[in-house]
Amino acid sequence: MRFLIVIPTLNEHKNIGIIYKKIVNLYKKANILFIDDNSNDGSKKEILDLRKKDKKVNYIFRKKKLGIGSAHKLGIRLAIKYNYQYVCTMDCDGTHEPKNIRTMFKYIKRYNLIMTTRFKYKNSLRGWPLKRIIITKMRYYLVSLILGTKFDSSGGFRLYDLNKIKLKDIFLAKDSNYNFLWESAFILEIKKYKIMEIPIILQKRSLGSSKMRLNDIFYGIFYLLKVFVIFKL
């Protein structure tokens, strides 16, 4: 079984080696693709050092910040191009535990997409700053209320079966940043793909800092209303 793990990075040099070790300790045959958005903190060197010792580590260094959504789309497109059946997308900040990929694979044969939810366990967000918890829950409830989706669709920790999902349907999601996550999940849901959620505990970021800014939140609300008009009216 060939599968690719796609990890977008932006100034995550302290976390790259940690996430790499966790992955290879669990999935020795997995290929890893880091897609870096022009980091200036040494992330590129960390990735190049990993590549020197492990040829299953691949990378794309982009010349400017193009957004996490565009990184996901690029990774999925390349996975299809190089004939991977499965592609997993995950964050590099340490909040996503690679051990949960095993649980995803338990169910993927019966589904087309496995997503993760942060709202099934009471302690899923324990230890997170109050501001981050409020933002995460507000986005979840807004997307659910306005679009009627039943999933925790703004998380980026997913496993796709590329034999069952059409690339053109994923690319109906047009946003290039955070909104791509809930937009793509919503589109695949209304396209009647079989989707399952597994509950996870979101790990607290211990190194580095979040890349989400206040203007991302305001734009997200505007974009959510735009998607509502396009698909719901």
Encode pLDDT of 106-147 as tens digits.
999 999 999 999 877 766 777 677 777 887 888 888 999 999
pLDDT of residue 208: 57
Query: What confidence tens digit (pLDDT) does each residue in 191-203 have?
Result: 999 999 999 988 8
What tokens does 221 get? 């609300």
Q: Are the beta carbons of 161 and 108 closer than 8 angstroms? A: yes
Instruction: Kindly provide the residue ranges of all beta strands, DSSP E only, lying in 100-189, ordered along the sequence.
Output: 113-117, 158-161
Exposure letters 10-30 (e unless 16+ CB within 10 A, then b): bbbbbbbeebbeebbeebeeb
Chain mean position to CA 183: 12
Give residue 233's pLDDT. 55
Q: How confident is the model at residue 102, as a pLDDT?
A: 96
Return the pLDDT at 201: 86
CA distance 107 to 143: 25
Question: To which CATH superfamily is domain 3-232 assigned?
Answer: Spore Coat Polysaccharide Biosynthesis Protein SpsA; Chain A (3.90.550.10)
